[in-house]
Chains A and B, each alone.
Chain A
Amino acid sequence: MLLLSACGGGGEVPPSAFPGMVVEGPSAYLASNTIVYKFDVSNGAESWRFPTAPDTANPRGPFSGMPIKVGDVIVVGGSTGSNGAYDKHLYGMSDTTGQEVWRFTPPGDKGREFVDGAVSDGKLIYAPNGDGNLYAIDPAQKDNNQPKVIWTFNTGNRLWGKPLLADGILYQGALDHKLYAINAATGKELWRFEGATAPIAATPTLKDGVLYVGAFDSNFYAVNAKDGSLKWKSTVDGWVWTAATVTKDAVYFGDVHGKLYALDLESGQHNWTYETRDTIKAQPVISGTMLFVVSVDTNVYAFDLTDIRKDATGKVDYNNTKWQNITLARRMFSAPVVVGDALLIPIFDGDVKVWALDVTTGSRKYQFPIPPPATPAPGK
């Protein structure tokens, strides 16, 4: 059994949690394994990191999910380590210094991991937890030295995807197979969608009063946001854990087998598909007419949506992309971000935490962290 277990060597803890990144102005905030970084998006220069050094007396992390900025505080959730042990805190750190300013722990002893971070309306923070509760907390009010819990909404199983917050309503998928609509001010349930037969871990996407979300039952659903009724359902090949990207007439997402889908927004009919070589977990990103997809197969794919060539079955040939970058050699689970002419991609494993690629060609622009300058050979 010892041979079967991973023998951890020295150095960084092997990653187990999905990294997450958000860009606010000139800065990016990245939660990557056991460290949260702030860096300059123009060149990858690091501003700070949290914690500054491993603290065995007060271990934190791993951190997971997209950080959010609430006022001048960066909020990120603790997640699960590779042996199942978890960090059950939500952390708030100063945007200026990276120092911890508050920490939230779910009340009682049942709290678990915050896998996908949180969302905020600028005042309250809504944090889904692995204990099945969605917590609404107010960092401006303190209770036992931590942000006060304003309300708690309980579901039947873990919450491993963050909710969508729109117009004062939270739309939360749960591993109990349901999608909930919750009043953000009061925490009261407005409706629940029970059409899925397996967990819903993805964050829903909303457009024109319709929610689009995939589930582990290999179906993708369009649900009316007003009352939770089903508009249409489309069957796909595998579990869906990506948030979908929606345009005026299509919806794009990937599945666990690495297939990218483009569905008709009105009917759910399959427009075209594309097969990568491993899971697509990250939300596809659109900038202009370009669609960018990152895969666990370590490649980055770019499509020109005005020039999609498919065969009679709707399949786009593997080589029929605008460009592909197959040089990164690292798994990608997290949504990239387009900043100007750069596509910033959080990387799951390895020393490089973020690659910035040129959106037009896919070539490398810079990496984060910036590698140290090469040491000249002695005597030269």
Chain B
Amino acid sequence: MGNIFDILVVNPMTNILLLIYDLLFHNYVLAILVLTIIIRLITLPLTLKQQVSSMKMAAMQPQIKAIQEKYKKEPQKLSEEMRKVGFNPLGGCLPLLVQFPILIGLYNAITRTLAVTPLSLLELGKHIYSFLPNLSSLVPVNSTFLGLIDLGQPDKLFIIPILVVATTYFSTKLTTPPSTDAQTKQTNQMMSMMMPVMFGFFMLSAPAGLGIYWIVSNLIGIGQYFLIKPRLDLAKAEHAAATSASSSGGSTPSVSKPSTPKARIPPPRSKVKPSSSARIAKPGSESK
């Protein structure tokens, strides 16, 4: 399985990264930047779908909880009602699952091309396409950034780990949809604090080149979010309108409103003929 993944994902990314590196004046940071942008652009439709789906799921939380409470003893009815409101548990996950191998592939391609150890350099040699022989002349890649940071080594200046923490925090904060559910809210808050710290700690001992990739990816994610925010807001509004319409006129059960429309009660007939100059208000009558 690992071999198939190499052939289909990691090897192409490794060679493309080297090609871009060759085109961009042997600047490894620029090469990572460009390849990350390309990959984020390719996965943009999936990213958008995932974020819209996450937003919808978050907005539907109270409704979903109510349905689950109402039909907890009727699993078949429960799944039917969930389907009717458009609940799709995989809606947020499936695009992520597709993106995940791409992320792993890019991570491996960067690790491989940095070739910080003789062992990894040897490994790189097995994966350069023979029909691109010029790529062998590029190794070892120039792994110094701004003359300060060796991308193949952990960053002793701690610039990369700090930037990883900061960008991961903001990226997580922005892309996690708000939730009305208290438990979900708490989980999200904890994740948005813990994840940046965990990644920052990891970067203290990982090659700095990986941190560059992560920072670039986060920044692109943040930029992407602001670009697609109008689309997200529109989807949110559409979803809210659809939810509201189905609650007032449809058969979807809701917690606070009766399922049948209000009956109109005619006013009682008056026994006094009204004069042309006076109107007597009848008790219990509806005003028009």
Q: State in angstroms the CA–CA spacing of A160 and B122 once bound together.
A: 12
Q: State in angstroms the CA–CA spacing of A2 and B164 once bound together.
A: 13
A157 near B125 (CB under 8 angstroms)? no
**Chain A-chain B contacts (Cβ-Cβ < 8 Å), number:** 92
Nearest chain A CB to B105 CB, angstrom units: 10
Binds B, one of A75-83, A226-234, A319-327, A369-377: A75-83
A157 near B117 (CB under 8 angstroms)? no
A308 at the interface (CB under 8 A from B): no
A362 at the interface (CB under 8 A from B): no
Most buried by B among A4, A16, A18: A4
B16 at the interface (CB under 8 A from A): no
Most buried by B among A64, A83, A333: A83
A197 at the interface (CB under 8 A from B): yes
A266 at the interface (CB under 8 A from B): no
B117 near A16 (CB under 8 angstroms)? yes
For residue A160, which residues in chain B have a CB less than 8 angstroms away from its CB? 118, 121
**Closest residue of A by beta carbon distance from B136:** A198
Instruction: Provide the A257-284 mask, 1 if CB < 8 A to any CB of B, else 0.
Output: 1000000000000000000000101000
A237 near B130 (CB under 8 angstroms)? yes
A18 near B119 (CB under 8 angstroms)? yes
**Closest residue of B by beta carbon distance from A198:** B136
A53 at the interface (CB under 8 A from B): no
For residue B28, which residues in chain A have a CB less than 8 angstroms away from its CB? none
B128-154 interface (Cβ within 8 A of A): 130, 133-134, 136-137, 139-140, 152-154
Nearest chain A CB to B125 CB, angstrom units: 4
Binds A, one of B67-75, B202-210, B278-286: B202-210
A344 at the interface (CB under 8 A from B): no
B152 near A84 (CB under 8 angstroms)? yes
B21 at the interface (CB under 8 A from A): no
B199 near A198 (CB under 8 angstroms)? no
Q: State in angstroms the CA–CA spacing of A79 and B207 once bound together.
A: 16
Instruction: Provide the A87-130 mask, 1 if CB < 8 A to any CB of B, else 0.
Output: 00000000000000000000000000001000000000000000
Q: Classify the interface of chain B: helix, strand, loop or mixed.
A: helix
Q: State in angstroms the CA–CA spacing of A256 and B137 once bound together.
A: 16
B41 at the interface (CB under 8 A from A): no
A197 near B116 (CB under 8 angstroms)? no
**Closest residue of B by beta carbon distance from A240:** B125
Nearest chain A CB to B19 CB, angstrom units: 16
A217 near B133 (CB under 8 angstroms)? yes
Contact A238 B126, CB 8 Å, known A4-B104, A199-B139: yes
Interchain CB contact (< 8 A) of A115 among B118, B126, B139, B152 = B118
For residue A239, which residues in chain B have a CB less than 8 angstroms away from its CB? 122, 125, 136
Most buried by B among A84, A85, A86: A84
A252 at the interface (CB under 8 A from B): no
Most buried by A among B104, B116, B118: B118
Most buried by A among B125, B126, B134, B140: B125
A5 near B117 (CB under 8 angstroms)? no
B139 near A85 (CB under 8 angstroms)? no
Contact A216 B139, CB 8 Å, known A80-B118, A256-B126, A279-B126: yes
For residue A257, which residues in chain B have a CB less than 8 angstroms away from its CB? 126
Nearest chain B CB to A219 CB, angstrom units: 10
Task: Please list the residues of chain A having a beta carbon within 8 angstroms of any beta carbon in chain B.
Answer: 1-2, 4-5, 16-18, 64, 79-86, 115, 157-158, 160, 175, 177, 197-199, 201, 216-218, 237-239, 241, 256-257, 279, 281, 333
Known interface pairs A1-B210, A2-B202, A17-B118; 7 further A-B residue pairs with C-beta atoms within 8 A, sorted by A's residue number: A80-B116, A83-B206, A83-B207, A199-B140, A218-B133, A238-B125, A256-B125
- 19 A-B residue pairings within 8 Å (CB atoms): A1-B199, A4-B104, A18-B118, A18-B119, A64-B118, A82-B119, A83-B154, A83-B205, A84-B114, A84-B116, A84-B153, A86-B153, A197-B136, A197-B137, A217-B137, A256-B122, A256-B125, A256-B126, A281-B122
Task: Please list the residues of chain B having a beta carbon within 8 angstroms of any beta carbon in chain A.
Answer: 104, 107-108, 114, 116-119, 121-122, 125-126, 130, 133-134, 136-137, 139-140, 152-154, 198-199, 202, 205-207, 210, 214
3 closest A-B pairs by CB: A84-B116, A239-B125, A256-B125
